[in-house]
Amino acid sequence: MSIGNDCRISGKTTFSGRTDSINPTLTIGNNVDIGWQTTITVGDKIIIGNNVRIASQGFLCGYPGHPIDPHLRAQGLADLPQQIGSIILEDDVWVCTRVSILGNVTIGSRSIIATGSVVTQSFPPDTLIAGNPAKAIKTLTFHSSSAHNEDTS
Active-site residues: which are they? 66
What HEC string does 95-117 produce?
A: ECCCCEEECCEEECCCCEECCCC
Strand partners for 41 = 16, 61
DSSP helix/strand/coil, 140: coil
| 116 neighbors 97 (Cβ within 8 angstroms) | yes
| 40 neighbors 26 (Cβ within 8 angstroms) | yes
Query: 70: buried, middle or exposed (CB in 10 Å: 19+, 13-18, 0-12)?
Result: exposed
Cβ contacts of residue 122 below 8 Å, gap of 6+? 104, 105, 106, 107, 108
